[in-house]
Structure 1
Amino acid sequence: MNKQLRQKTLESLSAVMPITFIVILLCITITPMPLAPLMLFLVGAVLLILGMGFFTLGVDMAMLPIGEQVGTQLAKSGRLVFIIPACFLIGAFVTMAEPDLQVLAGQTPGVPDMLLILSVAAGVGIFLIVAFLRSLFGWSLSRILLIFYAIVFILAIFVPKDFLSVAFDSGGVTTGPITVPFILTLGVGLSSIGQSKNSESGSFGMVALCSIGPILATMILGLAFGSSSGTYEPLEIPNIQTTAELSQIFGREFPEYAREVAFALMPILLFFLFFQIFFLKLRRKKIIKILVGMLYSFIGLTLFLTGVNVGFMPAGNYLGQQLASLPWKWILVPVGMVIGYFIVRAEPAVAVLNQQVEDVTGGSISRTTMMKGLSIGMAVSVGLSMFRLVSGLPLLPFLAVGYAIALALTFAVPPIFTSIAFDSGGVASGAMTATFLLPLAMGACSAVGGDILSDAFGIVAMVAMTPLVILQLIGAVYQRRLRHLPARPDIIEQDEIIELEEDESQ
């Protein structure tokens, strides 16, 4: 067990070190940073590394087995009258427990927090039902996405400007480190009774559909409540003089995030205990392993959220202000692209998705391929977001063009790439985006005199959009190379996808 934890921690170290190095390099060159936010950032980076190590191990031990066991048991029942309400309840309760949703609710202007939380949770529950029915009856994911995104963009014409960015951001924020592992493996279990051509493509696409529910829910609330009455409150960076004060800041916040994580994990634990008592009847050794995994998940996510919220958020906000205040503020674009390329590697849910893709596809789509695609997509999205922020251009045209390209590609690439690409959009826009990239955009926006709610918000939506295009383009390249390759036994073929071995060129 210690060996596995050590391995996971080393993996998280390699994921977090690049973004840490970039921030330090900026601090000693073009954007000198006071010691207070820099020390917060460095301590946050340590907590991030430890948290990711514990969390990813906990996911392997508990979250993934629970999701797959629950999904398989639901599939075995074969009764829609039981499966449909269960899907709604699972989607709603797990979403309500997502820590990032609490942050989103506090940032959405003019709508009571609990009303937004309940609406978004209901949206995810409804679309989890749609995702299950799609897997059950073999419906085309491309057509479903086309229909619902058409509805989204029609509604976007009428939604107040202040709600528009937050609505699109909500689709990415609510599919975070709690929701994603559970829904992904739930899909694997439920897909066993589906009529898709293969279980691999049928098991993906659930996160993609569940990302639409929050967007529609927030838009409907925006239409109901009308114009915004909210205002943006600038982030205050604490004044730290000693290491004791530094530790006290983290010590004060740690119990709060521990309570949030405990509340977040509780629905999953209760679902497991319910199915264990009435259906699963797992052996004692397996139950103990799952409970230990839940403890690891709790420790890891608490460390992670404390690190990114207390340490990364002030640093991101300060860097954004300083970069946008330079005489050559357009440097925000290339700097943002470099940060985006590396920061996606520190998203805990991304590691879960990449591992799940590699496992389910039998290695046809490797973790390396997924990470490269997501990194490129994140770089493009952050670069476009910074360009939009500096130039003052509206969000909707960028999203309309991006989603039009993404939806058009769904009819030209292997179905499994469409499912994985649209899943990855919600996964990439997780905690690191909300706690570092969004504050970075907020700081830059305040420095250039923009509107925070309409200009800075929307970066999560951009992050969720570009992987849809990039990963499907990878699928198109794979498909084209497949057509031009002679038949060979050493090439793995699965769902019309080929992973070329490293010795292909030899």
Structure 2
Amino acid sequence: MKKLFKEKMKESIASVLPITLIVLLLSVTLVPLETGVMVLFLFGAVLLIMGMCFFTLGVDMSMTPMGEGIGIQMSKAKHMIGPVVICFILGVIITLAEPDLQVLANQIPSVPNLVLIIAVSIGVGVFLVVALLRILFKIRLSVLLVVFYAIALVVSMFAPQDFVPAAFDSGGVTTGPITVPFIMAFGIGLATLRSDKDSGDDSFGLIALCSIGPILAVLLLGIFYNPEPAAQETSIVSVATTMEAMHAFRSETPHYLKEISLALLPIAVIFALFQMIYRRFHKAKLLKVVIGYLFTYVGLVIFLTGVNVGFMPTGQLIGERLAGGGFKYLLIPIGMIVGYFIVAAEPAVHVLKAQVEEISNGLISQSAIQYSLSIGVAFSVGLSMVRILFDLPLFLFLLPGYLIALTLSFFVPPIYTGVAFDSGGVASGPMTATFLLPLAMGACQAVGGNIMTNAFGIVAMVAMTPLITIQVLGFRAELKRKAVRRKLRRRLEAMEDTMVYYDDTNNEVNE
């Protein structure tokens, strides 16, 4: 345990340190920040490191075995009705537990919060059932993705255009730090008992499909309620001393203690019922799961407190002052640098990397996934800054992006498609919502743009570009594999040409 804790701490420091250094460098060069804001940011960075450490450790000990255990048990069911009902209920309950869903609900005031939350939760539940049926009937993921994204694009034509970016953002927002680890492990469990060669490939893709449900749900609500654009209010915490900074964090902590308690409680209840019925975990393993669950809770509280109190005002001020000063075009390269490093601080990214490397037996390394995600997010943030500066529509980027991603899905190994589309939801987590979105909002306000159409959409962009970069990684790997096979074939043919054959009397013959 001690050794594992040290590894997680090193991993957390390596993830958070680059973005911290970038902000410090900007604060002493292009964007001078008030001392109070920097104190909040640095306190927040420390909390991020601690929170990520506890969270990733807790996920390994609890959420992963819980999800896999439930998935394995469901795959043994003799009738389909039970697994389908359980999948739907799991999807709804886990989404209701996602803290980021509350943030989304508050951003769309014309739709009642409860209506929006229930609609999105039902959307995730329905698509978790679709993901289950895909695994059972061995339907290719790329086919379903083409069909459902085409439906989403058609529906978006009838929704209020000011509302569409927030709807596409919802696909990334609702697959957050609670949903992702559980659903990914659940998918691995569902596919574990299949002995065919495609079972590993089908372990991925659940997050990809579950990300479509919220998009369709929010678009349909937009058509039904015809909401007005949300008026965005900026709230920058002002502190003058380190004691005031501590008070700001301390005053917000009870809120996140309650929020994460309510978020994790449904999963705990589901697991308790599962354990009572199936007795899957023995006493020692069960104790480890409980301890891991507590680590997950503590880690999420610390992480979300740090990122919301410390990082959100810093991101907004950097965007506002870069765009409002004489450096607005520097938003593009600076945004790309921030995007490249900030994705490493997403807690669920570490879960994705570890599970991909494990399921692929090392074929897809954690470093390859990290580089692909970082490159993808760097391009997405850069393009988002271009959208803000030149007032360009979101679909100008989303349509060709998804067209490229969906086309690639037919030319790469299925495991890369599943990983790529899962990574879109994973990359657009709390760091995107609390640093990159405020960065975009601050820049948008400074240039006088429409926040709903220009600032919103950055989450959708962050969720889209990794679909391309990871599949390009898969396409490259497939080309290399084919090149190796051709090389081996040529060698075998050359060996056959030089071989000498003899008959039974040891005389040379030609064949």
TM exceeding 0.5:
yes
Task: Please give the per-residue CA displacement for 1:443-490, whole angstroms capped at 9, x wherever unaligned.
Answer: 00000000111110000000000000111111111111111125899x
CA RMSD of aligned residues (A): 1.3
Residue 224 to residue 212, structure 1, CA distance change in 2 (3 Å): same
> What does 1:399-414 correspond to in 2, within 5 Å?
399-414=398-413
The whole-number CA distance in structure 2 between the counterparts of 1:398 and 1:239 is: 37
Task: Please give the per-residue CA displacement for 1:131-157, whole angstroms capped at 9, x wherever unaligned.
Answer: 000000000111100100110111111
- The aligned counterpart of 1:355 is 354
The whole-number CA distance in structure 2 between the counterparts of 1:461 and 1:170 is: 8
Deviation of the 1:245 alpha carbon: 1.2
- The aligned counterpart of 1:469 is 468
Deviation of the 1:239 alpha carbon: 2.2
On the 8 A contact 1:194/1:202 being kept in 2, the answer is: no
The whole-number CA distance in structure 2 between the counterparts of 1:239 and 1:189 is: 47
- The aligned counterpart of 1:91 is 91
Task: Please give the per-residue CA displacement for 1:409-464, whole angstroms capped at 9, x wherever unaligned.
Answer: 11111111111100000100001000000000000000000011111000000000
Deviation of the 1:3 alpha carbon: 2.5
Q: Give the number of equivalent residue pairs.
A: 488
- The aligned counterpart of 1:496 is none
The whole-number CA distance in structure 1 between the counterparts of 2:68 and 2:238 is: 47
The whole-number CA distance in structure 2 between the counterparts of 1:472 and 1:378 is: 14
Residue 57 to residue 319, structure 1, CA distance change in 2 (3 Å): same
User: Which amino acid in 1 is paired with 2:468?
Assistant: V
On the 8 A contact 1:136/1:195 being kept in 2, the answer is: no
The whole-number CA distance in structure 2 between the counterparts of 1:454 and 1:274 is: 44
User: Which amino acid in 1 is paired with 2:307?
Assistant: V
User: Which amino acid in 1 is paired with 2:246?
Assistant: S
- The aligned counterpart of 1:42 is 42
- The aligned counterpart of 1:501 is none
Percent sequence identity is: 52
On the 8 A contact 1:141/1:205 being kept in 2, the answer is: yes
On the 8 A contact 1:84/1:129 being kept in 2, the answer is: yes
> What does 1:218-257 correspond to in 2, within 5 Å?
218-228=218-228, 230-234=230-234, 236-257=235-256
Deviation of the 1:193 alpha carbon: 5.3
- The aligned counterpart of 1:173 is 173
The whole-number CA distance in structure 2 between the counterparts of 1:161 and 1:317 is: 24
Structure 2 unaligned blocks of 5 or more: 489-511
| Consecutive aligned runs of 4 or more in structure 1 exceeding 6 Å deviation | none
- The aligned counterpart of 1:334 is 333
Give secondary structure in 2 for the equivalent of 1:161.
coil
- The aligned counterpart of 1:267 is 266
- The aligned counterpart of 2:491 is none
The whole-number CA distance in structure 2 between the counterparts of 1:392 and 1:196 is: 50
On the 8 A contact 1:187/1:203 being kept in 2, the answer is: yes
On the 8 A contact 1:314/1:439 being kept in 2, the answer is: yes
1:366 and 2:365 correspond = yes
- The aligned counterpart of 2:484 is 485
- The aligned counterpart of 1:312 is 311
Deviation of the 1:122 alpha carbon: 0.3
Residue 402 to residue 78, structure 1, CA distance change in 2 (3 Å): same
- The aligned counterpart of 1:160 is 160
Task: Please give the per-residue CA displacement for 1:68-89, whole angstroms capped at 9, x wherever unaligned.
Answer: 0010111112321100010001
On the 8 A contact 2:39/2:242 being kept in 1, the answer is: no
- The aligned counterpart of 1:129 is 129
Q: Flag the structure with larger Rg.
A: 2
Task: Please give the per-residue CA displacement for 1:194-250, whole angstroms capped at 9, x wherever unaligned.
Answer: 59742111110000000000000000000001141531112x222212222111110
The whole-number CA distance in structure 2 between the counterparts of 1:320 and 1:280 is: 53
**Higher mean C-alpha deviation, range 261-270 or range 89-98:** 261-270
Give secondary structure in 1 for the equivalent of 2:200.
helix
- The aligned counterpart of 1:442 is 441
The whole-number CA distance in structure 2 between the counterparts of 1:228 and 1:465 is: 26
On the 8 A contact 1:137/1:194 being kept in 2, the answer is: no
The whole-number CA distance in structure 2 between the counterparts of 1:208 and 1:393 is: 27
1:188 and 2:188 correspond = yes
The whole-number CA distance in structure 1 between the counterparts of 2:461 and 2:109 is: 20
1:29 and 2:38 correspond = no
Deviation of the 1:313 alpha carbon: 0.2
- The aligned counterpart of 2:54 is 54
- The aligned counterpart of 1:321 is 320
Structure 1 unaligned blocks of 5 or more: 490-506
**Higher mean C-alpha deviation, range 255-264 or range 458-467:** 255-264
The whole-number CA distance in structure 2 between the counterparts of 1:124 and 1:194 is: 24
Task: Please give the per-residue CA displacement for 1:156-207, whole angstroms capped at 9, x wherever unaligned.
Answer: 1111022101100000011111000000010011123559742111110000
- The aligned counterpart of 2:106 is 106
On the 8 A contact 1:135/1:196 being kept in 2, the answer is: no
Give secondary structure in 2 for the equivalent of 1:162.
coil
The whole-number CA distance in structure 2 between the counterparts of 1:284 and 1:97 is: 27
User: Which amino acid in 2 is paired with 1:292?
Assistant: I
The whole-number CA distance in structure 1 between the counterparts of 2:94 and 2:134 is: 21
Deviation of the 1:101 alpha carbon: 0.7
The whole-number CA distance in structure 2 between the counterparts of 1:176 and 1:240 is: 30
- The aligned counterpart of 1:7 is 7
On the 8 A contact 1:64/1:181 being kept in 2, the answer is: yes
User: Which amino acid in 2 is paired with 1:27?
Assistant: S
Residue 229 to residue 398, structure 1, CA distance change in 2 (3 Å): closer
The whole-number CA distance in structure 1 between the counterparts of 2:78 and 2:181 is: 23
The whole-number CA distance in structure 2 between the counterparts of 1:386 and 1:264 is: 33
> What does 1:75-90 correspond to in 2, within 5 Å?
75-90=75-90
The whole-number CA distance in structure 2 between the counterparts of 1:228 and 1:412 is: 42
The whole-number CA distance in structure 1 between the counterparts of 2:4 and 2:468 is: 35
TM-score (norm 1): 0.95
The whole-number CA distance in structure 1 between the counterparts of 2:329 and 2:201 is: 41
